[in-house]
A and B are shown apart, each in its own frame.
Chain A
Amino acid sequence: MTPERRVIAFLSFLLIIVALVACSAPATEAPATEAAATEAPATEAAATEAAATEASGVSEINILTFVGPQVAEPLQRRAPDFTAKTGVKVNVITVPNSDLYQKALTDMATGTNSYDGFLFAPSWIVDFAPAGYIADLTDWAKNDKDLQWDDIGPFFQDFNSYNGKIYSIPVDGDFHLMYYRKDMLEADGLDVPKTWDDYLEVAKHFQGKDLNSDGEPDYGSCISKAKGQQAYWFIYTVAGPYIQAKGSHEGAFFDLKTMDPLVNNDAFKRALEVYDETTKYGPPDELNLGVGDTRGLFLSGRCALSLDWGDIGTLALDETQSKVRGKTGTSITPGSKQVLDRSTGKLVDCDATTCPYAVDGVNYAPYSAFGGWAGAVNASVDPAVQKATYDFFAYMSSPAQANEDVTLGKTGYNPYRISQFKDLDPWLKAGFTEEEAHAYLGAIENSLNNPNMIFDLRIPANHQYQQEELDSIIASFMAHEIDKDQAAQQIFDAWQKITDEQGRDTQLAAYLATIGAK
């Protein structure tokens, strides 16, 4: 081939490529329209869809959330129904849990705005709302008949609001609960653990015994302790009842006057001891287990006790993966008979003054860890897109959809609406017996209605306090790199540093506001 011919050949090739690219745009669009036409047959739905799309001018929305299968699953499953109803196509984009915050923040802070909505932790709205990144949904939510905002539990209403305004729509309600093997405890004549000391005793009793008749020794207690995952929440589930006794507004994280962390005291150190001791009665690699792993272990009948969110309760019903159907008990997380005297830093016995909400001398403090998944709307996108995004979250949260989703283990969603506790039908449909449904919902309600519930940390930089510092230091402590005194001191120092960097007064004001302290 002569050089001229080569040039001509190259140019023709280029021309063909350009032509192909130019043609491909309408070519790909055409099948999409066809698909839409076939998906929604010429019924009323199609007519509404066309009308709705025309009215709003919004054809699709992008939602960012945590990588499935749980949490994203209901969004993906219900998106086509929403599209049929409104004509708005929903793209669900998923990222690993630990990247979600950064992804959302970077998208909004850099003005990229490639996501119209986010399904994330409601505790993050304290960062995003004042920065003006997420939209105020108060008017829409309060005037939405289908959403029934008042049906949402007061705690979750509050958790999804900032300065009295609604910034996210919950689709999930989160608490830590304790799960136990009802059959095993009954067989051995043991009571359900009421305090953390009881928990250790029961765990010790079952450690090394065969709990699922496979001839292998099993474990007393399974708690997710992997670094970089959920371990930093479980330590507060243990520490909570030792630190907080006088109601939610007392707070479990900081001193209400000085904003000094409440960690360098006997209560937190006792919790560290308990947390460390549970490792003795757990799987050998417990320090590397995420919640997915501990759930798997509990469902395969290998653990006598476990701490988790509401998920094990519903997952246990699914016999394709559960060997503990009908054998699983659910209860409020254990409490303590001793509580912190904040003036001395020592533990004192519970009495009517020190533990006003104690039941039979035991102070319970269930922990609203994480608070449940909730949908927030990007404030910088077109108002019509904002409305469409809100509509999608409201659709997901409406009792018609939500009351079914919370009964399914695969969704990762747990109850948060009053009607979900009152109406047993969806639960029975999902496979619960009436007794099981009462026990499961009772445990959650017990936590939800507890006046001494611990509100998860919702102040600016809560990520840095918990996910960075607390997580690293707890991991060091669990690996016995440091002892409990060093751990407490290190958390104290690290948290003080963040508080000072962020501004002590503003942090204190935010903390008081989020726990409702006067």
Chain B
Amino acid sequence: MEAEAKRETSINLESGFRGQLRLFNSQTERWSKFIFIMPTVLALLFLSIFPLIASIYLSLTNFKFVKGGFQLRFVGLNNYKDLLLGSDQKNFLGLLAPMTPMRWIVLGALIAALFFYLIRTLLKTRISLGGLLGRIILALGLSALAWLAVRTLGPGGRLGTLSVTLVFVFLGITIQYLLGLGLALLASQDLRGRRFFRVVFLLPMMITPVGVAYMFKMVTDTSMGPLTPLWRGVGLANFAWINDPWAARGAIILADTWQWVPFMFIVLLAALESQPTDIVEAATVDGANSWQIFRSITWPGIFPISLTLVLIRMIEAFKIIDLPNVMTGGAPGSATESLTLRAFINWRALDLGSSAAVAYLLLIVVTFFATAFVQTIRQRSLGNG
């Protein structure tokens, strides 16, 4: 009996100790995740969130030297107002041409198409409140862009930094994607010397963008550059691409394409190589031609990777600054001035408020396009699935 009682107490004691240990363990387990995650959270707060908030404040102020240092004077939304409606509108949005009947018709058609799409999706699918809100924002954002395009393109209008950036992003990425895909398809064939070309195609990506910019500045210089004899040969010795807005934009897109095609190429090549060969072989046996194979087998296989690729490039391309800054400084006029370059010019001249406001508007635009892109894709893949 006694011995039994002793054992019982020891069991009780043991279980009490174990219980405490378990409690301690569960406590540490609960806290340890916070403790382990804390350095990252603090680093993120310090490096991302704090600057984000500080720059919001900066965008609402004006910088001024005063006795003994400097002062940030609060001016409310004035910097934003200047960019969208005031004296900086011509730089940011561009020169808005007066609305002609033709412009009204085009704008009307574009907006009608957008709302037709919106209403059709609303009627066809059941969507949540968030989805509805997202779509309304998308339609409104795209309508605003359509309005901007109609007012700034064509006679009397001129693109502003916002539209110029969009041109760099969408035109540039389209060309880069198509070229990258073409090269990847070529390099995935069983051709002689493909290993060599794979390395060669990758080289431009390794070069710093400033280096690329200087190189293209020289190459496109028709009167003093290394290719002058060539330009002279084709009768372009006295042509300066810098004098024409679209030629200058073209030169920058050319340099950007030269640098970024390799990125598209390498990822698409990996995607192509990871495709199972048996389906392709089966299709070949069934007598499908190469276009049919590409359309029905290869393309669906590389589609998801292509989307990620375009998204990554898009976010990156919105920040373009090195190329226009070195190649043209934003000239002719403001024809090649990207949003980041404008923010940089303002910052350089100590107009910190305007600079932060431009950067914030850029953030909004990037977020809008990235979200719209991801959502559209998701809907589409859900629909397809």
Contacts and interface: CB of A to CB of B under 8 A. Distances in A.
Nearest to A476: B333
Given A285-B222, A288-B240, A131 B331 contact: no
Interface residues of B, number: 41
A497 B89 CA distance: 14
Given A228-B345, A490-B90, A494-B87, A464 B350 contact: yes
Interface in A128-150: 130-132
A63 interface: no
A468 B346 contact: yes
Contacts of B68: 131-132
A227 interface: yes
Contacts of A472: 91, 330, 334, 345
Residue of A288, A477, A493 with highest tally of chain B CB at under 10 A: A288
Given A102-B348, A463-B349, A283 B223 contact: yes
A478 B333 contact: yes
B252 to A, nearest CB: 12
Given A131-B68, A460-B65, A287 B243 contact: yes
B347 interface: yes
Nearest to B245: A479
A236 to B, nearest CB: 17
A425 interface: no
A114 interface: no
Nearest to A128: B65
A226 B65 contact: no
A296 B223 CA distance: 13
B66 interface: yes
Task: Tell which of B330, B347, B349 has the most Cβ of chain A within 10 Å.
Answer: B349
A212 interface: no
Interface in B241-278: 241-243, 245
B65 A285 contact: no
A248 to B, nearest CB: 25
Contacts of A476: 333-334
A461 interface: yes
A247 to B, nearest CB: 29
Contacts of B329: 226-229, 288, 475
Contacts of A501: 62, 64
Nearest to B354: A468
Contacts of B64: 460-461, 501-502
B65 A287 contact: no
B348 A98 contact: yes
A468 B348 CA distance: 8
A81 interface: no
B243 A493 contact: no
Most B Cβ at <10 Å: residue of A227, A461, A501:
A227
B70 interface: yes
A464 B64 CA distance: 11
Given A464-B350, A481-B333, A284 B66 contact: no
Contacts of A284: 222-223, 238-240, 243
B322 interface: no
A502 B63 CA distance: 9
B351 A127 contact: no
Given A132-B68, A285-B242, A228 B333 contact: no
B334 A102 contact: no
Q: Which 10 residue pairs are nearest across A and B when measured between Cβ atoms?
A: A479-B332, A228-B329, A468-B349, A479-B333, A285-B240, A476-B333, A481-B333, A284-B240, A227-B331, A227-B329
Given A102-B350, A284-B243, A481-B334, 9 more contacts: A130-B65, A131-B67, A132-B67, A285-B242, A287-B331, A464-B349, A468-B351, A475-B333, A501-B62
Interface of B: 62, 64-70, 82, 87, 90-91, 95, 158, 221-224, 238-243, 245, 325, 328-335, 345-351
17 contacts: A101-B348, A109-B70, A226-B331, A227-B329, A228-B325, A229-B329, A283-B240, A284-B223, A284-B238, A284-B239, A284-B240, A285-B240, A288-B240, A463-B350, A464-B349, A467-B349, A478-B333
